[in-house]
A and B are shown apart, each in its own frame.
Chain A
């Protein structure tokens, strides 16, 4: 399977926060083969272990989150409409007339309803309804929906993937399963004896709702050091106020107070010597990722944060650059094989 195919396969899985275990079997068959062992915990964290074969080797955590933003069905309305609530930070601007998948007893197709603009009072066209007032049109009757869609049913963006020019890929769920695919590729590329330690690849749960999964997994696992990978914002035309990495410039390495400065510096040096394209990105305080909670888990876990720049995050049409994804695979590979890092941070 190519990296491109693995990204699409993983990202098209429905893993709206709270439903991570719905993907257990697919994950096992898609990526289980690259690891020695798989575990699922109380919160739906999926842990994949690849051992280096040396007793007492350092425990290296590689974290990307499995869950994605989405919605949850809260009610069934007359005429075959569903009301929903957001799970994680859903951008309501992209919802009207958006296409969704309703993962009930069977997967239903749905469209987010919107009123014709010329029938609205002047001024209302600029207003957005809160998500709790939006409706999903399913084409079924209320009675049929009551049978097919129990309350609490997850709703996600319809998975549709397209290739744009220049190796850019467009679709839903790149946050953060695209990083997951890169991690698997990077880990699979290193033969066990070349690993600097035992690699614990954590596909964590509940990141979008407050990093709960990484918090508890970090506490339970107690790794020696950790690599967190998440998506970041790539530069777009109307975001001049923030300095963002242009797409295609490789991996973003975060400079932040929540990550370990020495580990960050060593990782940047690793990329420099191995000619892996990267940029430093300043995220002084809150990084908005699992790095926030892993650094302070239990007796503290030295953590580095690598990011994959994407556009239109949390939408149904996120865009990523395959050259950046490939750079991320290389960075994972270099990180988990680095004896220098294991020397300094291994217990």
Chain B
């Protein structure tokens, strides 16, 4: 997991320009699955076929987003300073005086206009200094429409905790790859679709079209969630190191209650660490999947993370492992009489 995260945090891929991440993930996931493809929006999809006979396999969609927050170049002034617009929810205080990398490798520093009060640091008060003498030199390196993002990093802290960026949501991508690895050892009956979605940070866009294409029976999303365990945090019954966080609600979605309880039941039965998550502010791809097509039962296993969208997001790799292990336990659990538990009941009502 650590090595995977080292690789994934090293690639840049802001919303709309995810190719760098997509290429890396393709190399990781294709040996573990039966088929991979890229959809028109740019999401990477991979299918691992189930062991049950054709027609008896459910379609399970597991989704994590590839994109990270960043900036788009809007204007280059006469002195060669580069103006940018944010892509996704940027914390400008956290991003100020930090190094940014452009798609072609050019480096720059994001700085506020001199004299700007910290509270006033917004998109129109910052610029990127790439060290160019003038507009002409700057334009040789950077064009309007190019993207840049804060540099990626990964630092080991105590135990299995790590700090860096973008944990959101490369950790979810890593969990998906881990699940594919584990399913290689213990195959499951159902078809599992791994979806590495695009454009989550700008409005949960890629997961929606990917889900429409797949039309899954169940969708599960792997993303970071906020916690209540940092100093000054609002009360939230979710903490780093507390295990896989089974989402009940965030500001974009109310998850399928029966599915959440089913996941908790499996965790309890197997003695796996888990917690429930109710996130007051912040949305996830879960919402788009739920609303795609004729509607999908959805849930999410979140990785509790502190300081989300800053340059140093902190999480515990054990929580990420727990998400992967719980998913595999749920996918491969012994079928109770009657087949798929609550799902079969819901199906019976629908018939």
Contact = CB atoms under 8 A, between A and B. Distances in A.
Q: Do chains A and B touch in the complex (CB under 8 A)?
A: yes
Given A40-B349, A40-B350, A74 B236 contact: yes
Interface in A87-143: 87, 132
Q: 8 closest A-B pairs (Cβ-Cβ)?
A: A216-B295, A220-B294, A18-B254, A152-B248, A43-B295, A151-B276, A40-B349, A42-B297
A219 B290 CA distance: 13
A75 B237 contact: yes
Given A40-B346, A212-B290, A72 B248 contact: yes
A81 B43 CA distance: 45
Contacts of B20: none
B280 interface: yes
B249 A43 contact: no
A152 B256 CA distance: 11
A217 B296 CA distance: 11
A286 interface: no
A216 B293 contact: yes
Contacts of B268: none
Interface in A13-49: 17-19, 21, 24, 38-43, 45
Nearest to B258: A21
A72 B346 contact: no
A121 B237 CA distance: 31
A173 interface: no
A212 B291 contact: yes
A217 to B, nearest CB: 7
Nearest to B351: A39
Contacts of B235: 74-75, 83
Contacts of B248: 72, 151-152
Given A75-B237, A132-B280, A18 B249 contact: yes
B28 interface: no
B38 interface: no
Given A42-B256, A43-B290, A212-B291, 8 more contacts: A40-B350, A42-B294, A45-B295, A83-B235, A85-B280, A152-B278, A212-B290, A212-B295
Interface string B322-351: 000000000000000000000000100111
Contacts of B202: none
A147 to B, nearest CB: 15
A33 B260 CA distance: 32
B234 interface: yes
A152 B249 contact: yes
Contacts of A151: 237, 248, 276, 278
Nearest to B256: A42
B295 A213 contact: yes
A335 interface: no
Interface residues of A, number: 31
A42 B237 contact: no
A39 B294 CA distance: 14
A39 B346 CA distance: 9
B234 A216 contact: no
A206 B254 contact: yes
B237 A74 contact: yes
Interface residues of B, number: 28
B257 interface: yes
A215 interface: yes
Contacts of A217: 294-295
A331 B255 CA distance: 36
Nearest to A16: B254
A312 interface: no
A219 B287 CA distance: 16
11 contacts: A18-B249, A18-B257, A19-B257, A24-B349, A43-B297, A72-B249, A152-B248, A212-B290, A216-B292, A216-B294, A219-B293
Given A87-B254, A151-B276, A152-B278, A42 B349 contact: no
A39 B348 CA distance: 9
A24, A72, A83, A152 interface centre (most CB from chain B within 10 Å) = A152
Contacts of A83: 235
A39 B349 contact: yes
B278 A42 contact: no
Nearest to A28: B349
A338 interface: no
Interface string B248-268: 110000111110100000000
Given A152-B257, A217-B294, A41 B350 contact: yes
A209 interface: yes
Given A74-B278, A85-B249, A212-B290, A17 B237 contact: no
B184 to A, nearest CB: 29
A209 B253 CA distance: 8
Interface in A64-89: 72, 74-75, 83, 85, 87
Given A17-B254, A18-B254, A220 B295 contact: yes
A152 B257 CA distance: 9
A38 B287 CA distance: 26
Contact of B254 (A39, A74, A75, A209): A209
Nearest to B247: A152
A85 B251 CA distance: 10
Given A19-B257, A43-B290, A132 B234 contact: yes
